[in-house]
Amino acid sequence: MAVRYNPNPARITEPLYKVEELEKSPLYTVLCGGKELTVYHTDSFDYVIPVVDDDSPLSFQVKVSKDFQKAVFRPAKTNVQAQISGRELSFQLEKPSKVTLELDGNLKTPLFILCTKRVPKPEKVDYLFESGKVYNVGTLEVKAEETVFLEEGSVVC
């Protein structure tokens, strides 16, 4: 069901449920700068969203719950090289970016690492998606001069 522009934005931004209710990855555990991040699971992939303040390099540790032999990062132009020790990978991103980790060429279990920069909340917000909540808006047509803001930790589908 597509949701078109609604003059009552509160209706569109009513959460379906809480982020804590989303399925977590059974395969991956991710640490960024030593801090554990939540890794979410879908039927097609797992993903993690590190939120950063600047373009500084990021150090990652990924723990995998099953054995693997080879790790490949995409896009290849990122040239990310991981150190592998047992079921753990350590690697660095020279700057925050979006990369995909594939283990043993298995396209059914990728890990998407989707780094994003923190954005301060504007004073005027027409559509607010609050942290810790999950929303399914379908299609949201935003008119000129309207502002949409996703707080860190919100999930919008």
Residues 124-156: tens digit of each pLDDT: 999 999 998 988 888 889 999 999 999 998 888
**Domain boundaries, given as residue ranges, for the chain:** 9-19+122-156, 22-117
Quick one: what percent of the chain has pLDDT higher than 70?
A: 91
User: How far is C-alpha 11 from the chain's CA centre?
Assistant: 25
Quick one: what percent of the chain has pLDDT higher than 90?
A: 75
Mean pLDDT score, 93-103:
96
If you ran DSSP here, which 8-state letter would residue 141 be given? P
In this predicted structure, the answer to whether residue 8 has a pLDDT above a threshold of 70 is no
Q: Average pLDDT over the chain, rounded to whole?
A: 89
In this predicted structure, the answer to whether residue 89 has a pLDDT above a threshold of 50 is yes
> For residue 31, which phi and psi values (nearest 5 degrees)?
-115, 135
Residues in the chain: 157
CATH code of the domain made up of 22-117? 2.60.350.10
